[in-house]
Amino acid sequence: MIEGALRMILTSIHLVTNFIATRLKYLSLNRLTVCKCQNRVRGKVVVLTGATNGIGYYTALDLAKKGSLLYLACRNGEKAKKIVRNLRRVTDNKEIHYLHLDLSKFSTIENFVTAFKDREQTLNVLINNAAIFHHPSYLTEDGIEVTYQTNYLGVYMLTSKLEPLLKNTPASQVVFVSSEAHRLVTAEDVKNFDCTKEVELRTFHDHVKLYGISKLALHMYADHLSKEAVGVSVLLVNPGNVWSNIYQNCWLSWRDLVTRTKCAVYMRDPKEGAQSTIHAVNSPRGTRYYITDTLSKDTLEEYDSGFLIKKSSQLLRPKSVSMS
């Protein structure tokens, strides 16, 4: 009872601080970052992961308004179906669909790809948006650390299985939503990380490091994909530091209320955070770019990612069953 009441109080404070932050942003002299590119997604088949809240929701709203044939790949089916109904109503776009996907379960990735291929023969844009942060560490049913699987290995599996469709679709595109946290770790950290073991997460820094490892792995895979998938545009985007549900497990004690309030006021809101992804899919075609939170384009760094791709492929191989 007490724990539930405290959670309700914290949720209320979260809503109030979001409201205050929104009003302060409108009063601010700083101009919000907004993509003003022409519509380049009308009629295109787009898959978007993690679209039920935050950056993903505002990305979905923009894609729906612009007339894309949109598939929301989400874990929470009930919530996703409500989002689909709402987007169809407010945008008058009836080509918005939901297919179940949980990146922390390889079986649902397989099922998603099969269901999608049953419906579509082309894929113009794949937006890998879903991610988790500051999440308790445990091994998934596939035996992989949950943050690493959700943020990287599941994304690797999904993209690899959709790669044939992408290659067979002219001017197709893959967008990975990343983070500046990838700069806080090294390729050696990725190489030495054992994703088959739980991670001891005692401090906020520990969570940031784990998140950074998963995001740097994403950069290394994007570098590999951009060279291997000829004809497919590969982009990474940085949404900036966005106050969204990705922080739902952070700063939950009473002594952290000031921190939460500061974050809500000074961080970006999800609508602004979505602009780098919106810019990626609507700006003139290009590849091997890292689009920053100010919508500028940096050339994608090159990595020696052979070890990561080999390891990832091995982890996805079906485990042999010994016969006694």
Contact 175, 237 (CB under 8 A): yes
At residue 247, φ and ψ (nearest 5 deg) are -95, 15
Distance, in Å, from the CA atom of 158 to the CA atom of 62, rounded to the nearest integer, reads: 23
Q: Give the helix/strand (H/E) hosting 125.
A: strand 125-128
User: Residue 52 has which token pair?
Assistant: 């039920």
Distance, in Å, from the CA atom of 315 to the CA atom of 143, rounded to the nearest integer, reads: 9
Active site residue 247: no
Long-range CB contacts (within 8 A, 24+) of 178-181: 178/215, 178/218, 178/219, 178/236, 178/237, 178/238, 178/290, 179/211, 179/212, 179/215, 179/238, 179/239, 180/238, 181/208, 181/211, 181/212, 181/215
User: Residue 261 has which token pair?
Assistant: 């309030």
Distance, in Å, from the CA atom of 256 to the CA atom of 204, rounded to the nearest integer, reads: 12
Q: Of residues 211, 221, 247, 290, which has the active-site annotation? A: 211
Contact 273, 35 (CB under 8 A): no
Spacing of C-alpha 189 from chain mean position: 21
Distance, in Å, from the CA atom of 34 to the CA atom of 163, rounded to the nearest integer, reads: 30
The order of strands in the sheet holding 233-237 is: 96-100, 69-74, 45-49, 125-128, 173-177, 233-237, 289-291, 297-299
Distance, in Å, from the CA atom of 286 to the CA atom of 127, rounded to the nearest integer, reads: 15
Among all residues, which ones are annotated catalytic?
211
